[in-house]
Structure 1
Amino acid sequence: MRERGDRDNTAPREQRRPGGRPHAPTLSPADLLLLERDREQALLSAVIGELGAGRPALVTVTGEPGAGQNELLRWAARHAAERDISVLTARATPAEQDLRYGVVGQLLAGHPAFTDHLPHLFLDQGRPGRFPGLTRLLGAARERPTLLVVEDVHRLDSDSLRWLEALARRLPHAPLALLTSSIRTADIGPDWCAGSPLTGSATTVELALPGLTRTGTGTAVRAVCGTVGDRSFVDAVVAATGGNPTVVGDTLRRFTRAGHTPDGDHVHHVRVIAAEVTGEHAASALGALRHPVVLDVLRALAVCGDLLDFPLVVALAGSAAVPETRLRAALLDSGLLTVSDGRFRVSGPVVRDRIIEEMPAVERADLHARAAELAHRAAADDQGIGDLLLRARPVGAAWAVDTLRRAAGAALRGGHRDRAVAYLSRALDEPLSPRTRVRVQLQLAATELVIAPVAAGRRIHGIMREPGEEYAAHRSRAADLCLLGGDTDTAWRALAECLADGGPEDSGQAPSEPGAALEAAARHEELTALLRVAQPLRRTPAEIAVPPAPEPPRAPLAPAVSGVRAWETAVRGTDREEARRLARAALAPHPAGRPQLTVPRLLACRTLLLTEDVDDAETHLCALLTEAHRERRSVAVARVLALRAQLHLGQGRPDLAARDLAAADLELPPDSRHPLSYPYWTALGVVTDLANGRTDQARAAAERPVPPPAEESVSGAHLLFARGLLAEADDDPHRAAALFRVCGRWLLQYGCTNPALLPWRSRAAEAAHALGDAAQALKPAREELELAERWGAPGAIGVAQLSLAMMSGEDRVQRLRSAVEHLGRAPDRAAYTRAVVALASAESGGQPERVTAAASPAYGTAGISFAGSHDVTARHSPVPAPTPAGARSAALPPVWPSLSHGERAAAVLAARGMANREIAAELSVTTRTVELRLSSVYRKLRIRGRDDLRVLAPGTEDD
């Protein structure tokens, strides 16, 4: 054999084809196990060299199973034999662990001095202090240096272990080296030197073999697969195998036999194969376990080893009678465990799953149940106990349900909704009281709304149709949750069935307490109010009879009725004061402290937006948001954030609206929304993008397909309005006019007459005016002004006056002054500023175009309600209107159309002599935003500052 001391003897060998072109390097299985073992081979070569010079040595090689420690010992044995050193080899096996001196017999059988006398050495060895053949072996070693190689010493029988320990104590007296291997880690390996005087007269070495590095794994890939592997492929092999040389080799050979190539397209395949190989190795090790107690403890460790301390694991396995030291040694001998920070851990999830899968199903479920109960008594982590309960049989104890619900809450806090659903679904397998069961079902449905909205709708429908007083008390909350999720069809059907069957009083028993009758009546009112919210607002075939929702009572017992009545009053636009009063009543705390429904309170907040009580609306929205966060209801959080985004749009703050929409997307991802809610979210996103100047992004969102049932709804009409705004931005008045008119027909069909919802009439009028049809332009504009004055909100009146002023030459200045006066009392300061600019332009003799007057990112508070006739969901949510990108004023200098609306407003106010801080307060933006806008104005207009700005904009200064 060649000398392989310090040379890189593990490099792949190059084979050449005829003509000198090399094949891909090849490695035998043995060479693969010696990859990246150059340091260890050099050290063993030095030890063997010193042994030839008479210096004894003791070398222990440890590593995980498959690390190649035995192959390294065999290499050393071959290397020593080439140097004329006597080599004796043995290997401990599980079959010989009960055989006295089994390994000693293997060692001595290879020495010529014991050939004829070996059987007699092991007779009469019961007396203490006798070690068969040890003295003769030491004598023979003095004549010729001897190397003893013992593989897998962790499986030694007790007599052979004592014999080797005695040999280690005598090493200084003979040119003899002992080389052993073990799968134990270095810090818990056998202490051969304990109590011996080996202090410089013998070499002692401990080698812990690591796994392959990325470079070594890449070499193995090239050798086995015949080509260089992609970086992603090599990284996947390292991650899937842990760099274990045996697993790497077996995985790559099986991967190559399957005909795959080591590239990024086959990363999944190599991961699957690596898992199969690891599982087969684990199964083989399990099959080698002979002691049932060790197997029980190993199973217990696989189930809860990361959750409980080792003594508790032993107690769970029922192995307390076996000494812990023996258990530890036997477990380490299995090769299925690792030791980290003094704790036993199963070697990876694949091995853990294989150990558990080997158990019969009944025993597996029982072990998990007992482990969960022990972990509960030990006050372990809730999610850890929940994971045990997921695979356990029902335990029939109240602590299990409480733990699973707490684990679901912890999972939701961590953003793991799928785990929360699993915990709550498992809780329903336990025997529960009706009250607890309906609460768990509601909690589960609220979580499923985010990841499986259709399944959640079916679950909620089942809750609402379940008989019994406990379920009757929660039907309104279930319907409220269904409406928040956007499934108005399911909510309407379930509510209609409940009311047709008698409502919540269908338990068949008379109320047992004095207040029970009032409580039942209040619940019935809530169901009736929610039915009006969920009433389908799309065309129904004539053959399907749809009974109308009952009228709500004038003196309701439930605040939810006030919220619905407030919204119905607002969408009709008939009595602003009554709508405000009802909305505030709906948002007042319940006298008895009873939790209130969310949908009616959201409708009340929308009503306050229409009445332009924006501060009150924002306060209540913040309270609703805090409540939804506290209860971990992601759908409610998303809905509140969406309504607050609309509020920001109404105040001319599109950047804050975009922030809230982004937060809503995190709570309720777009792919998880119910199909019926698509128009709501799409329209809101389009308007926000337009208001922030992201026209391309708005266009892409508007072009996405919408399910047909969702299009035939109020929110579908508002999506038409948003698309009309986009058509205006694209300078397409024909398409814009058609979209606005269709939008108006849908809104009128659903009873939405209040122009504060959506100013579709003024937008259609402006589109007609741009096309040169003055008659078609003035009629809807005047109608909108009449309806706005009937409603009485200053913002709606101001927008209507501004729009009419842009199309009618008569009384233009008076109308603009009226618009300025009304918008000055509205929350949207940006709309007020635009009116001021238009008035200044008209008074200086200019003729402002239509878009200057009415265009705004949000049309003020009056146009920002973004809700339809009743619902807060996919069917009933209007959209605020953004400013078209091409808006410009003819009264301003010719170069000014290159400015955006925000830049133009800042420039006009700066030309009037206002300071940056005053401009920021007027436009509801930050001072930094004003600075950036003015810098952009100076750059675009090629001027140096405010003095040049005043020259370019005469007539804008204060008189």
Structure 2
Amino acid sequence: MGEPDDRENTAPGEQQRAPGRPRAHALPAAGLLLLERDREQALLSAVIGELGAGRPALVTVTGEPGAGQNELLRWAARHATERGIRVLTARATPAEQDLRYGVVGQLLAGHQAFTDHLPHLFLDRDRPGRFPGLTRLLGAARERPTLLVVEDVHRLDPDSLRWLEALARRLPHAPLALLTGRTCTADAGPDWWAGSPLTGSATTVELALPGLTRTGTGTAVRAVCGTVGDRSFVDAVVDATGGNPTVVGDTLRRFTRAGHTPDADHVHHVRVIAAEVTGELAASALGSLRDPVVLDVLRALAVCGDLLDFPLVVALAGSGAVPETRLRAALLDSGLVAVSDGRFRVSGPVVRDRIVEEMPAAERADLHARAAELAHRAAADDQGIGDLLLRARPVGAAWAVDTLCRAAGAALRGGDRDRAAAYLSRALDEPLPPRTRVRVQLQLAGTELVIAPVAAGRRIHGIMREPAEEYAAHRSRAADLCLLGGDTDTAWRALAECLAEDGPAGSGELPQEPGAAQEAAARHEELTALLRVAQPLRRTFAEIAVPPAPEPPRAPLTPAASGVRAWEAAARGADREEARRLARAALGPHPAGWPPLTVPRLLACRTLLLTEDLDDAETHLCALLTEAHRERRSVTVARVLALRAQLHLRQGRPDLAARDLAAADLELPPESRHPLSYPYWTALGVVTDLANGRTDRARAAAERPVPPPAEESVTGAHLLYARGLLAEADGDPHRAAALFRACGRWLLQYGCVNPALLPWRSRAAEAAHALGDAAQALKPAREELELAERWGAPGAIGAAQFSLAMMSGEDRVQRLRSAVEHLGRAPDRAAYTRAVVALASAGNAAQPERVTALAPPAYGTAGTGVPSAGHHAVVALHSPVPAPAPAPVRPGPLPPVWPSLSPGERAAAVLAARGLANREIAAALSVTTRTVELRLSSVYRKLRIRGRDELRALAQGTEDD
């Protein structure tokens, strides 16, 4: 891959300059190879000057292929000729490496005085000590200083090499200089001045040519393109070409002829062109290789040179009979290999790809397979072996599958899902037993859910439809994975087909042992439970002749069935204790020791959210998250984080919810989610943004179009609810009421009655009340209270009572007292605080026992009444949108001092009067402790009191007025 032998002085880009483009600077093509060579030119000029004064010299110029060594030697030859020095030139070529004295013949033919020695060059081959023309050359040099210029000395034929070595030893006896060029590779080229102390009296110099710097590359861009290149463009040229002058010049000339401009918009174009130029130079150098042994070693080095040491590469190529030193020299001579950190490596990925692509497909696949096996025996890196296996034929060995699976795990740990999927896909090309194949297929499907969810759905469907017995035990896991990815359509279709073919409680007509029958029944129950999860998420069923999923048994055999039954009971709002019992059973271990399914466990945790057992739910979610991280299941991690974000919203911690959603986006990017799961993620993001005060961001997300099939799912109701909250925050009660009612219609269609899931009735009632329709407002609010009391969760009852209190008349205070009582036993401290403030603002003077009613009870596990010290987290209502402080209700005039407080000061004063510490008030109001201190100080100043004792007395007096 050397530099071109182009000695014309045509300005680059001049012949095909694009119309309207500025004319390039008059820099010759050869001038690009001499950019940033001022130091080297000055040194060569000094050597030539000393040669004219009679001092001999020995100069070697080295550089990477294309660095401009030969062009610098030609410049020195022209410079010496201009100063009256005799110049003899030659160039070693691969074609003359077997020709005796090929380079010497070129040198002597350069002057008439030496031509009579040419016939003797090919005679007397076996006579030692004879160097034709050498004596005559030394004599002529004493008469006139002579410069010998030899290009590419690493390709010298053996006789010419010995001749030049003899000349080097005789340099001190004549005003003669030897200037040579070669590639800058270790072990390449002769050590000219070794072997004779006499060469110490001659000037000896070795010049190493570096690549172009960024400044030099910018100069080349300006010269060839006719304008200054953008910084990003110049950086791209440096990165794509490595600063190699030949590659830089060819790339820029092609770039200019294509009519492009050197700006940031054309960075990709210049990278593509640079790759083409590098590949063509590599192909040219590859075509010049004539030794098949060297070619085999070069191919083996391109395949696994970064993974195996050079002796193993030679063994892979089957070239053990050839001396290693000869192979090293031949590889370095090709210009396609460089030495880095003491290792032989192919010069860049483009060159490596070109070498491999030149091989026939069958040989290439076989070489990769043999390289992978050798790397396996050498205990190389799993991902390195996996990369070899990706391009290899099937090896038919168990180690290959194990290595590919380990490589996939390493890639997942590094966040490279595409690479992991490639490893697993390649593992499926090997001959595998059914149990191993289904395991790899499931692992691949889990990876593809992130990068190609639709393809993952097709793969999962194929797993579930596979008739082999070994697949039967994995069908429920496949369906579980499909539901996690959000492809409920594929999951429902595959489950319905499986159950339709299997029949009730097992498949097959052969008699089964009791243990086998019980296992078959358990598998059937799991599939049925998952079908019940998928079926409600569709409005129109697929055209499959199968009845709806049957009711699960009252005594489930599997935790999966318990989890589904728990969620169905919670959605119906029928039996809170039974739902809690089933949810906890679903989160326990499987009786048969089977791996637990994820979707039923998530449903169990969602059930615990509705039963207000938030501590239990958070504990199990953290365990699920740890398990998913350990197994590198990104979709599961994202789903668990999303559910934990819902838990944080119910606890009034929207900042933590936003953090979990951001982490979920990293695990499962929005563009990688299945279209059917769009409403779920959008609704959760909108509600979280509203809770954090990011209304504009929530509005932008809510306005994005939803795929039509996703609108007809139960999660579409969640999105309608979120949009209703947004309309409520925007002060649009008409739109809010319509959205909340639409949400309710969808939920009722899917059998979701429990107001603890989404309190759409109270929200619709509040919107109707804001529009002045009292009758339309009270009906859904009373219905929600009735359903909440049937469910029995204190938080749901308290929220319903609070909503009714804001719209009722005579029984307002009684309902507020009931709301305070129920919310005090719920995990929703923020809702409790709002109820307390509202009750204090109502100013009921006839109930002195109200002070006792307002005292906050100790809070522990939701619904149990077990105290838990320090648990004072603020918990939002079922909608985490902060409700505005209710307008003061004035059944009678308030004391003149109380209305002088701001809403924030009034809330802090009420809670302080009820005995809460500053830290508890801060948690209840979602502010800092310092803010509470400042508000109370302002309260004391405005009310002209000295502390909490007087504040409690004043509050008591207000209640008793």
Let me know the Cα RMSD of the aligned residues.
2.9
Q: Is the 8 A contact 2:451 2:672 kept in 1?
A: yes
Q: Which residue of 2 aligns with 1:484?
A: 484
Q: Is the 8 A contact 1:336 1:347 kept in 2?
A: yes
Tell me the distance in 2 between the aligned counterparts of 1:861 and 1:494. 40
Q: Calculate percent identity across the aligned residue pairs.
A: 88
Q: Which residue of 2 aligns with 1:612?
A: 612
1:195, CA displacement in angstroms? 2.5
Q: Which residue of 2 aligns with 1:381?
A: 381
Q: Deviations over 1:760-783 (max 9, x none)?
A: 111111111111111111111111
1:425, CA displacement in angstroms? 0.7
Q: Which residue of 1 aligns with 2:245?
A: 245
Q: 1:406 to 1:186 in 2, by over 3 A?
A: closer
1:275, CA displacement in angstroms? 1.0
Q: 1:595 to 1:503 in 2, by over 3 A?
A: farther
Tell me the distance in 2 between the aligned counterparts of 1:519 and 1:862. 37
Tell me the distance in 2 between the aligned counterparts of 1:893 and 1:169. 109
1:592, CA displacement in angstroms? 3.1
SS of the aligned residue for 2:731 comes to: coil
1:917, CA displacement in angstroms? 2.6
Higher relative contact order (CA 8 A, sep 6+): 1
SS of the aligned residue for 1:103 comes to: helix
Q: Is the 8 A contact 2:409 2:420 kept in 1?
A: yes
Alignment of 1:284-683 (within 5 A): 284-502=284-502, 508=508, 510=510, 515-540=515-540, 547-683=547-683
Q: Deviations over 1:401-448 (max 9, x none)?
A: 111111111110000000111111111111010111111110110000
Q: Deviations over 1:145-167 (max 9, x none)?
A: 11111100110111211222222
1:947, CA displacement in angstroms? 3.3
Tell me the distance in 2 between the aligned counterparts of 1:404 and 1:12. 50
1:142, CA displacement in angstroms? 1.9
Q: Which residue of 2 aligns with 1:882?
A: 880
Q: Is the 8 A contact 1:758 1:879 kept in 2?
A: no
Q: Which residue of 2 aligns with 1:854?
A: none
1:908, CA displacement in angstroms? 5.9
Tell me the distance in 2 between the aligned counterparts of 1:300 and 1:684. 54
Structure 2 residues not aligned, in runs of 5+: 1-8, 15-20, 847-859, 864-875, 890-897, 957-961
Question: Which moves more between the two structures, 379-388 or 743-752?
Answer: 743-752
Q: Is the 8 A contact 2:842 2:888 kept in 1?
A: no
1:326, CA displacement in angstroms? 0.3
Q: Which residue of 1 aligns with 2:201?
A: 201
1:396, CA displacement in angstroms? 0.6
Q: Which residue of 1 aligns with 2:254?
A: 254
Counterpart of 2:384, as a letter, is: G
Q: Which residue of 2 aligns with 1:117?
A: 117
Counterpart of 1:684, as a letter, is: L
1:625, CA displacement in angstroms? 0.9
Counterpart of 1:476, as a letter, is: S
Q: Which residue of 1 aligns with 2:894?
A: none
SS of the aligned residue for 1:281 comes to: helix
Tell me the distance in 1 between the aligned counterparts of 2:944 and 2:131. 113
Counterpart of 1:930, as a letter, is: T
1:50, CA displacement in angstroms? 1.1
Q: Deviations over 1:804-834 (max 9, x none)?
A: 1111122222222221221111112222222
Tell me the distance in 2 between the aligned counterparts of 1:395 and 1:723. 56
Tell me the distance in 2 between the aligned counterparts of 1:507 and 1:397. 34
Tell me the distance in 1 between the aligned counterparts of 2:224 and 2:576. 80
Tell me the distance in 1 between the aligned counterparts of 2:908 and 2:666. 34
Tell me the distance in 2 between the aligned counterparts of 1:904 and 1:430. 73
Tell me the distance in 2 between the aligned counterparts of 1:599 and 1:656. 23
Number of residue pairs the alignment of both structures matches: 905
SS of the aligned residue for 1:117 comes to: helix
Displaced runs of 4 or more, over 6 A? 9-14, 504-507, 541-546, 860-863, 910-913, 951-957
1:334, CA displacement in angstroms? 0.4
Q: 1:919 aligns with which of 918, 921, 927?
A: 921
Q: Which residue of 2 aligns with 1:224?
A: 224
Question: Which moves more between the two structures, 589-598 or 720-729?
Answer: 589-598
Q: Is the 8 A contact 2:12 2:29 kept in 1?
A: no
Counterpart of 1:882, as a letter, is: P
Residues 1:164 and 2:164 are matched in the alignment: yes
Q: Is the 8 A contact 1:907 1:934 kept in 2?
A: no
Question: Which moves more between the two structures, 368-377 or 948-957?
Answer: 948-957
Tell me the distance in 2 between the aligned counterparts of 1:542 and 1:64. 66
Tell me the distance in 2 between the aligned counterparts of 1:745 and 1:879. 21
What is the TM-score with the length of structure 2 in the denominator? 0.90
Counterpart of 1:36, as a letter, is: E
Alignment of 1:738-749 (within 5 A): 738-749=738-749
Q: 1:22 to 1:609 in 2, by over 3 A?
A: closer
Q: Which residue of 1 aligns with 2:271?
A: 271
Tell me the distance in 2 between the aligned counterparts of 1:650 and 1:586. 22
SS of the aligned residue for 2:201 comes to: coil
Q: Is the 8 A contact 1:468 1:507 kept in 2?
A: no
Tell me the distance in 2 between the aligned counterparts of 1:887 and 1:861. 28
SS of the aligned residue for 2:753 comes to: coil
Tell me the distance in 2 between the aligned counterparts of 1:912 and 1:951. 19
Q: Deviations over 1:789-817 (max 9, x none)?
A: 11111111111111111111222222222
Tell me the distance in 2 between the aligned counterparts of 1:510 and 1:661. 50
SS of the aligned residue for 2:928 comes to: helix
Q: 1:77 to 1:944 in 2, by over 3 A?
A: farther
Alignment of 1:674-823 (within 5 A): 674-823=674-823
SS of the aligned residue for 2:827 comes to: coil
Tell me the distance in 1 between the aligned counterparts of 2:834 and 2:533. 36
Residues 1:947 and 2:940 are matched in the alignment: yes
Q: 1:472 to 1:108 in 2, by over 3 A?
A: same
Structure 1 residues not aligned, in runs of 5+: 1-8, 15-20, 847-859, 864-877
SS of the aligned residue for 2:321 comes to: coil
Q: Deviations over 1:602-637 (max 9, x none)?
A: 111111111111111111111111111111111111
Q: Is the 8 A contact 2:62 2:208 kept in 1?
A: yes
Counterpart of 1:947, as a letter, is: Y
Q: Deviations over 1:229-260 (max 9, x none)?
A: 22222221111111111111111111111222
Counterpart of 2:591, as a letter, is: P
Tell me the distance in 1 between the aligned counterparts of 2:188 and 2:818. 89
Question: Which moves more between the two structures, 674-683 or 236-245?
Answer: 236-245
1:911, CA displacement in angstroms? 8.1
Q: 1:235 to 1:557 in 2, by over 3 A?
A: same
Tell me the distance in 1 between the aligned counterparts of 2:777 and 2:623. 43
Tell me the distance in 2 between the aligned counterparts of 1:685 and 1:599. 21
SS of the aligned residue for 2:383 comes to: helix
Q: 1:921 to 1:536 in 2, by over 3 A?
A: closer
Counterpart of 1:227, as a letter, is: T
Tell me the distance in 2 between the aligned counterparts of 1:907 and 1:700. 38
SS of the aligned residue for 1:164 comes to: helix
SS of the aligned residue for 1:592 comes to: coil
Counterpart of 2:226, as a letter, is: G
1:890, CA displacement in angstroms? 3.7
Q: 1:61 to 1:595 in 2, by over 3 A?
A: same
1:222, CA displacement in angstroms? 1.5
Q: 1:194 to 1:880 in 2, by over 3 A?
A: farther
Q: 1:831 to 1:50 in 2, by over 3 A?
A: same
Tell me the distance in 2 between the aligned counterparts of 1:157 and 1:203. 26
Q: Is the 8 A contact 2:644 2:660 kept in 1?
A: yes
Q: 1:933 to 1:277 in 2, by over 3 A?
A: farther
Tell me the distance in 1 between the aligned counterparts of 2:99 and 2:886. 99
Question: Which moves more between the two structures, 754-763 or 165-174?
Answer: 165-174
SS of the aligned residue for 1:529 comes to: helix
Tell me the distance in 2 between the aligned counterparts of 1:676 and 1:905. 44
What is the TM-score with the length of structure 1 in the denominator? 0.90
SS of the aligned residue for 1:704 comes to: coil
1:188, CA displacement in angstroms? 5.1
1:456, CA displacement in angstroms? 0.6
Q: Deviations over 1:865-899 (max 9, x none)?
A: xxxxxxxxxxxxx99413257655446858847x7
Q: Which residue of 2 aligns with 1:869?
A: none
